Structure 1
Amino acid sequence: MNIKRRIHKDSLVFKLSTGTAVVMIILFAVLITSNLYSLYVVRTNTINSAMSEMKIHIRDIDNSLNNAVNDLNEVAMNIDDITALKSSNESERYFSTMRLSDILSERINISKTTDALAIYNHEHGILLFSNSSRLSSQEKISAADVIRAGLSSQNHKLNDLWSTVEINKKNFFIKAYDFSGTTIISLVKADTLMTLANIKDLSTEQQIVLTDKAGNSLARAGNMSLSDINFPLGNDQQVVNNLAGKYLMISTDLDSSYARLSTILKEKSVLLGLGYIQWVIVILGIVSIFLVPYIINYLNKEIIKPVRALVVGTRQLEQGNLDYQVDGKGSSFEFQTLNNSFNSMAKEIKTLKISAYEEKIELQKAELKYLQMQIRPHFFLNALTTVHSLTYKDKNEDIRKFIDALSKHLRYMFKGGLNMVPINEEIEYIKNYFCMQEIRFPNSIFYVFDVEASVEQEQIPQFIIHTFVENSFKYAMTLEEPLSIFIKIKKDTLDGEDAVKIVIEDSGEGFPQEVLDKVNNSEDTNTLDGYRIGIANIKRTLSLLYRKNNLLKISNVEDLGGRVEIMIPTQKGDKNETDNS
């Protein structure tokens, strides 16, 4: 799994897909960031513009209220007449009332702001009232009733800001002075202030609302409907986003009164502030989103699929399917050229592989014959030496037995070519070999065979067991102690397949460490010294026959001697036997 994952990450398809994805992600990030920044800039500019506009309107409203304060102050300067209203002399009160009435009318006539001026004496119940034409008669009556009902009885201070009061369902700003039981009052309609603030040319997406501190609407300007907005407004913050889910509200306090001025805009109107270039960026971002599937599909069709087809073709060749052809229809000219070259290469590989395979078979046959011949020569020298020795001892019966065993041995050896033989035939040959060695070394040999009956007919390479038995006599045989050899053959498995396991153990000193390392840990056994060449040839023979390098293992058994383990794949063995026959 790790190898497949690593190969996938190193593939051109993965790198191309990753690179395209990274580029698209960066592009989207840039476009989204640019759009968000553009919206932020436009939103900030909209808020700043609204704030600047409201400052102008607030300045006009504060100026109007200051003018109304000037009118109130002008009336308050007539302190003598105001004080005379509480005189016990009726005549004096009458003339004071007449003069103050004229003063009120004069101030109302010249004032552009004040809608009503009133003087009310609590002790005698005298109410002097003068109003502008902006007040209806009903509003005048209601205002007088409100003043008599208790408005004038409130405690008013000179430094109080303008407050608000509702009269006949209209909202008024009110400011008053107290003079020893007499109250001077100024009233200004909220609508008058909005008119004097010169609020006009508002779009259908904007509304300006004058509210009290609690957010209750006092007056409005603009054509936008606020039916989906609930009052009182939560305009205690300077900027409120998503008001009623679709409005932007910017609010500012008035300096001269307990009131706030708020501008309400539709959120979508903010987008109208985007410039030409910013709209181009937004459109490009939207277009890019729709282009991504097309680009991915195009890259998949023109690059990724052809590359995958070549990868599949390469893997098919690796698996030995030399007849596989890559279909190049529909791909670009470059990939068609690559596919045609690949198909031509596959055909050429098939032709060359057949030729090379035939040459390799002939070469392996010759090499195996050479390896087999390398195993045999020293035996003849040993046999001749034994016969020669026995003649000096006049052991004619032993000589006869030895020559009889030798003839059987030679017939087995000279079968010709490389042979696969049944295990029981190799065992009989080894027993004959032991017979000859017992004549050479009387009472010095002990051997045991443990062979499962089910494997006696399994095929193995000729001399595969004999070579190691002969090595035991060459390197483990001593005159001081008898030589013990144990041979066990049984069924086993190798890499999940049926196999025959051959174990050969002797009582010698075992294998040198150098030989153990070279045979078990290295594929190259050609560096073994001359008298160990038999082991090298056996390993090479097994490798050539079964295409595996783990069939031979040698080791030393503590307190015993050398141990040889040989694994023979039964299916491979059967196949080779058939081929050789």
Structure 2
Amino acid sequence: FTGDSYRLNQAIKREARAHMDEKMPYKEIMTYEGEAYLLYILGDRGKLLGYAVNLSQYFVLRENMQLVISDGEGNILVNQGDMLLEEEAIAQKLRSNTERAGLMYMISRKDLEGENLRILLVHKDEKLAFWNQMEFWLLFILIPLTAFAVLWNVYRFVKRIIYQPIDHFVHRLTEMKKGELPENFGEAGKENQLEEIRLINEKLDELITEMGKLEQERYEKEKEANAALLQYYQLQVRPHFFLNCLNIVASLLNENDVDTVKTMIYAVSRHFRYVFQDSDSLVTLAEEIEEVKAYCNIYIIRNAMPILLQIQLDEEDESYQVPILCIQTFVENSIKHAVSKNRVLSISIMADRIEDEEQRYVRIRISDNGEGYQPQRLEELNRPVTQFQYHSRQVGVDNIKYRIYLLYGERARLYFYNSPTGGAVTEILLPREENEHTDNR
């Protein structure tokens, strides 16, 4: 409490004396200077013991905000701030356990641990009503008009370049085949006919050249689309992961743990720089391993659980280029599914060179000491991914598989299996020639 502690104590004492004769323990919501307090009192033989919790400090109440405190049955105990929603509407939201309060409202919710209380903050924002924004209607009108204009120009271009020459050519060939020639055709007419055929052939050559250009442009567009898709996969992040990291930093600052805060900030910033770096799609093995270490440090600080990370990488392979996040994704997968309170999580990363069917590979193996893959999951993982597919969960593994397919085609291989001694194993085989002659970093 940042106000006058003496006056607050006096108010609590008055409230306690007023309820000394009531059944103990006594609990109620007390309002003091515009703030709500949870008052809990134990009493025996004239002696009182209890505490007061400032419930208004859970949220900062500003303009266009409404603070509501209710019990577990949905009964409203405190209603402060601007009256944005009626009590009946709020009660309905509490019963339905929803966080949506209409197109112009947002609701933040907090359950008070150890007490059967729920705190809600209703926030009104006119910007959420998109239909009231001029930009929405401007886009709503301009997009169809622009699309119509583009389609109309495309239609005119195709008709002028393709349909008209072909139609004229077919028409003239039909006339020649039927022998429909003018009466005064003669030798001059035959020469004119030959000249017309020559002109038609020239037009056809121009048409074929133009079609070749269009095909080349289509290929370039597909190439750009694949590059954009690669970038989308590369830059995909999980916002809640970073929010959790920031919350941990804030908690450590409150505990004055400066050294741990520094380590956490360095690891998170290293992870940010790596994910959002200016790169086409490839990084060195050494850079990918450093990213894995930074990610593991974040997890260790965030969850206070150790990770035994074993890395076997020859110095000559450190400069080998691999798709970004191709190792970190599977390490993250092991942390998510193999961690257990009964054992220390151990993750092993090994890279070496092998030859298989006259093809030289760099093999990367990621393994852990968890329970291993489920049979159904193994079947899904070993199924090739050759086209973009959206999945609401486990999107990272499919992202890596599809990016590797776009980069190397069918020359690269991925194997997923369980180790005989326990734990999940992932093997990535990348063709060495692809990296030995690649400079696009």
Larger Rg: 1
More helix by share: 1
TM normalised by structure 1 equals 0.37
Tell me the TM-score normalised to structure 2 length: 0.48
